[in-house]
Amino acid sequence: MPLSQGRKILAIPGPSVIPDRVLNAMHRASPNIYEGEIVSEVEGMIPDLRAVARTEHEVAIYICNGHGAWEASLRNVVKPGDRILAIQTGRFGTNWGVLASQMGVDVQKLDFGMQSPADANKLEEVLRADTEGKIKAVTTVQVDTATSVKNDVAELKNAIVAAGHDALFMVDCIASLGCDRYEMDAWGADVTVAACQKGLMTPPGLGFVYFNDKAKSFRKHAVPGQYWDWVPRAEPEIFYQYFGGTPPVSHLYGLREALDMLVHEEGIENVWSRHEALAGAYWAALDAWGSKGSMKHNIADRAFRTVAVSTIETAEDDAQKIRDWCEKEAGVTLGIGIGFGTPSSAEARRRFRIGHMGHNNIPMMMGVAGAIDAAMKALGIEHGEGALEAASRALAASVNRNA
Ligand SMILES: *Cc1c(COP(=O)(O)O)cnc(C)c1O
């Protein structure tokens, strides 16, 4: 007898749960796109988009997913034949590099495997060895959504400065914006790439590229093409009116509502703290489960974990069994293991991910943890007891701490 009726919970790392308020805001007829409300609404979003990334610099909005934003960012700063250094800490930094190679960019890789953050000393060493200054840009993810590792963006920037290198520093925050603390200007990122469907709680379809003055100076040497050019997109008179074509009106209404919730109602500092508290509760549950049997977090050191998603390793294909059980019996969808071999490989089947990015609260977190706990009991998978008790205690402690 499945117990999966009732509201389903999507606990995958993007698209994330879209708040009803955002969905309702999108449920409107298209407006006059040439003047009036929509124009001023887009203008009003720019300061809020700056606030979530902690920057004073420019942001271009594209109608695309994260892959489009990756391409947009590269097209404005490099051209075929230029070299970039792609930091890899899982799957996404790797794939950004693959996309660059397909544009004819010469991609030098710096790989840190599937269980560790990037090592800033190693980055400094590689940049020091580039005595001719061939490397035009360093790309990294803040958070890799496959491994759930979080890189120390400020430390990586310090390594570029310490090496005395001129490379542009480009950071993918697609998984982490609106989840993990991010300070574009204070930490020295020149370009930040993001999308709307993870921490920003809006259906997939909007990509964002933030760029500072140094990045703007690189634009002169690139040939972005009409659609990807960030110059007109950052010019209010040109762009707010034409959007490089028809504006994505419904998405803009949704994003407006989501930014109200994040920036004006909850406040970005509180958004980050809420993510920390909910992720911390999952990790407390995981520590309890893992006290017997094989379950463990892919990233051993909590300091290097993102609060947006957790990648969990199990024995053999227990991960797949847990996911299937949660889907069929509990109405909870968990994320598949990605980046560790092909989707059907043994390495993938032993991993699952819990997306805890965006619109989440205690009942959602406890509901997902409860479903996983019941799954292991029903399936006879060995695990430590007391996970929900541990999660509850962790939640109570963070609420008290933040009171
Ligand atoms: C989701 C994600 C992407 C890709 O975004 P799409 O919208 O799926 O194209 C890139 N980088 C990171 C870190 C992501 O989490």
- In order, the DSSP letters of 1-37 are -----SS-EEESSSS-PPPHHHHHHH-S----SSSSH
pLDDT tens, 288-297? Answer: 999 999 999 9
pLDDT tens, 221-265? Answer: 999 998 999 998 887 667 666 677 888 999 999 999 999 999 999
Mutate to test the pocket of ligand 1, among 174, 251, 356 (most ligand atoms within 8 A of CB): 174
Distance 401 CA to ligand 1 centre (A): 33
Residue 19, pLDDT > 70, answer yes
Q: With pLDDT > 70 as the criterion, what percentage of the chain qualifies?
A: 98
Spatial contact of 251 and 206, defined as CB atoms under 8 Å apart: yes
Q: How many residues does the chain have?
A: 403
Average pLDDT over residues 3-22: 97
pLDDT band (50, 70, 90) for residue 284: very high
Q: Which atom of ligand 1 is nearest to the CA of 175?
A: 15
Distance 378 CA to ligand 1 centre (A): 34
Ordered DSSP codes for 258-276: HHIIIIIII-HHHHHHHHH
Average pLDDT over residues 157-171: 98
Phi and psi at residue 87, to the nearest 5°? -75, 135
Structural domains in the chain?
A: 9-16+267-402 (3.90.1150.10), 31-265 (3.40.640.10)
SS3 112: coil
Ordered alpha helix ranges (H), 200-267: 213-219, 230-233, 236-242, 249-259
AA letter at 230: W
Token match 């580039």: residue?
130
Distance 348 CA to ligand 1 centre (A): 19
Rounded Cα distance between 264 and 167, Å, is: 35
The finding on whether 14 has its CB within 6 A of some atom of ligand 1 is: yes
Q: H/E element holding 58? A: strand 58-63
Average pLDDT over residues 93-97: 98
* Cα atoms in the Cβ-side hemisphere of radius 13 Å centred on 293: 22
Model pLDDT, residue 241? 62
Q: How confident is the prediction for the chain on average, in pLDDT?
A: 96
Spatial contact of 325 and 312, defined as CB atoms under 8 Å apart: no
The finding on whether 195 has its CB within 6 A of some atom of ligand 1 is: yes
SS3 181: coil
Spatial contact of 120 and 155, defined as CB atoms under 8 Å apart: yes
Residue 8, pLDDT > 90, answer yes
Q: Which atom of ligand 1 is nearest to the CA of 141?
A: 13
pLDDT band (50, 70, 90) for residue 34: confident
When computed from its CA atoms, the radius of gyration of the chain, rounded to whole angstroms, is 21
Of 181, 171, 180, whose CA–CA distance to 308 is shortest?
A: 180
The finding on whether 357 has its CB within 6 A of some atom of ligand 1 is: no
SS3 240: helix
Give me 240's structure tokens. 């707010």
Distance 273 CA to ligand 1 centre (A): 23
Rounded Cα distance between 58 and 32, Å, is: 26
Rounded Cα distance between 239 and 262, Å, is: 25
Rounded Cα distance between 397 and 330, Å, is: 28
SS3 319: helix
Distance 174 CA to ligand 1 centre (A): 6
Task: State whether the Cα torsion 384-17-94-276 is positive or negative.
Answer: negative
Model pLDDT, residue 78? 98
Mutate to test the pocket of ligand 1, among 12, 62, 70, 92 (most ligand atoms within 8 A of CB): 92
Ordered alpha helix ranges (H), 76-206: 92-102, 120-129, 153-162, 184-187
The finding on whether 212 has its CB within 6 A of some atom of ligand 1 is: no
Spatial contact of 12 and 356, defined as CB atoms under 8 Å apart: no
Residue 98, pLDDT > 90, answer yes
Model pLDDT, residue 403? 75
Of 389, 382, 373, 359, whose CA–CA distance to 330 is shortest?
A: 373
Q: Which of 30-44, 234-248, 330-344 has the highest mean pLDDT?
A: 330-344
Dihedral angle over CA of 385, 363, 357, 303, nearest 10: -40
Distance 128 CA to ligand 1 centre (A): 30
- The reported pTM is 0.97
Average pLDDT over residues 303-320: 97
pLDDT tens, 113-157? Answer: 999 999 999 999 999 999 999 999 999 999 999 999 999 999 999
Q: Which atom of ligand 1 is nearest to the CA of 70?
A: 10
Q: Which atom of ligand 1 is nearest to the CA of 204?
A: 7
